Amino acid sequence: MVRKSKEIWKVYKNVFDQFTERLIFKLKTQKVIDELKSPIQIGKEANVFSASTPANRDVIVKIYRLESCNFNQMFNYIKQDVRFMHLKKRRREIIFAWVQREHRNLLKARGAGVRVPTPLAYLNNIIVLEFIGDDEVAPQLKNAIPKNPEKFFKDLMSDYKKLYQDASLIHGDFSEFNILNYKEKPVMIDFSQCTPIKSPNANELLVRDIKNICRFFNKIGYETDKSEVISYIKEK
């Protein structure tokens, strides 16, 4: 078990270049975190860990990999965002802006009453988030089918409507992978691709989001209609 744990940490710690190590140390000196505890996930662009704080509570630490993440793809998304249209195509600047964007999007979503993790801090390629769960992080929707899919879906679409109408945002990467099922309530996560509704590609992203989530709920036996859902979200 110890050997396995060490191997897991070895894989996850490919994110820890000297620059990132210094940032983690800075977050510790600022008392944002105390220690990293457990690896949770290797994402497409980032590694996710649980961590403790000096106040003895758990948080999530998401660290974007500086050398191996696809900054070209990030740039293709962020250049459409009216808030970042003057950003130059430089790897680190794009990654840092990507993290700042996720932090801002989460604050806006939370301000609109959407169930999301509270963003607690960010520093260059690191963002610290509220821990959603009890002893363990809440499972992704793909691994925790709701007991009442109809109610779960309606709660989820109500939140998406708040995101669209009140925060003027579109998630941009909406699927069963980026929704947690916490005590039979949906919690949206991963807001780095989230974009304002004024962006040129906003409607394209909205259609893709709703198509993805309707596909999943149809698959688990709750029939949904993409066109009806989009109309509901856009309806004042």
> Which one is catalytic: 58, 159, 173, 209?
173
Indicate the helix (H) or strand (E) that contains 188: strand 185-188
For the question of residue 135 being annotated catalytic, the response is no
Which of 58, 81, 159, 190 is catalytic? The answer is 190
17 is catalytic: no
Distances (CA, A) of 213 to 59, 88, 114, 156, 160: 27, 33, 17, 10, 11
Ranges of H-type helices in 119-201: 149-165
Nearest to 169 by CA among 122, 88, 102: 102
Tell me, what DSSP letter sits at residue 118? P
Cα 188 to Cα 19, 176, 179, 196, distances in angstroms = 30, 10, 5, 16
Give the integer Cα–Cα distance in Å for 172 and 73.
13
User: In this structure, are residues 60 and 128 in contact, taking their beta carbons and an 8 Å threshold?
Assistant: yes
The set of catalytic residues is 173, 190
